[in-house]
Homo-oligomer: A and B are copies of this chain.
């Protein structure tokens, strides 16, 4: 991973290795972020396919439009729990989740 990319992630609020390491993500941290981005992209894709607005999805999961926007943006203040609950609320099955996890990453950060 390139430093530029890491700085962009950091700028978006990510904390690595207990904040002290600014550069140098561990494989584990990288996987974690990667996973989140996949789920975020999967959520957006699924929502769009269902022709729902972020507000409509928010209502369905008893959250708010802003939080849905953050989910899809990969905002670090959003937990995997919320992300996954939302996917489930959109009718995703375990198989669907597995597919999303294994999916090709769509876009880079930044």
Contacts and interface: CB of A to CB of B under 8 A. Distances in A.
A69 interface: no
A79 interface: yes
27 contacts: A18-B62, A28-B85, A28-B88, A28-B89, A31-B88, A31-B93, A31-B94, A32-B84, A32-B85, A32-B88, A34-B94, A35-B84, A35-B94, A35-B97, A79-B79, A79-B80, A79-B81, A80-B80, A80-B84, A81-B81, A94-B101, A94-B102, A95-B102, A97-B101, A98-B98, A98-B101, A101-B101
Interface residues of A, number: 21
Given A35-B97, A97-B101, A98-B101, 12 more contacts: A18-B62, A28-B89, A31-B88, A31-B93, A32-B88, A35-B84, A79-B79, A79-B80, A79-B81, A80-B81, A80-B84, A95-B102
